Amino acid sequence: MVDKTATVIGATGLIGGHLAELLAKDAHFSKVRLITRKMPESVPQGAEVVVINFEDPDAFRSAIESSEAVFCAVGTTRKKVKGDMDAYRKVDHDIPVSAARHCRDSGCRHFSLVSSAGASAKSSNFYLRFKGEVEEAIAGMGIPSVSVFRPSMLMGKRNEFRLAEEIAKIFAAPLSLLFPAKYKPIKGHDVARAMIAAAKREEPGFRIFHFNEMKALIKGSRA
Total number of domains constituting the chain: 1
Residue 167: inside a domain: yes
pLDDT for 165: 47
Residue 104: inside a domain: yes
CATH of the domain at 75: 3.40.50.720
pLDDT for 169: 47
The candidate with the shortest Cα–Cα distance to 158, out of 67, 70, 79, 58, is 79
Give CA separation, 31 vs 34, 68, 113, in Å: 10, 10, 20
Domain that holds residue 211: 5-218
Number of neighbouring beta carbons within 10 Å of residue 34: 28
Contact (CB, 8 A) for 182 and 153:
no
pLDDT for 188: 94
Q: Per residue in 118-172, pLDDT tens?
A: 999 999 998 899 999 999 999 999 999 999 999 998 886 655 545 444 444 444 4
Residue 74: inside a domain: yes
Residue 120: inside a domain: yes
pLDDT at 81 over 90: no
pLDDT for 74: 95
Q: Per residue in 90-125, pLDDT tens?
A: 999 999 999 999 999 999 999 999 999 999 999 999
Residue 223: inside a domain: no
Distance of alpha carbon 111 from alpha carbon 199, whole angstroms: 8
Contact (CB, 8 A) for 65 and 106:
yes
Contact (CB, 8 A) for 151 and 175:
no
**Which is it for the CA torsion 46, 158, 52, 130, positive or negative?**
positive
What pLDDT band is residue 174 in, cutting at 50, 70 and 90? Answer: low
> Running DSSP on this structure, what letter comes out for residue 32?
E
What pLDDT band is residue 1 in, cutting at 50, 70 and 90? Answer: very low
Distance of alpha carbon 223 from alpha carbon 194, whole angstroms: 14
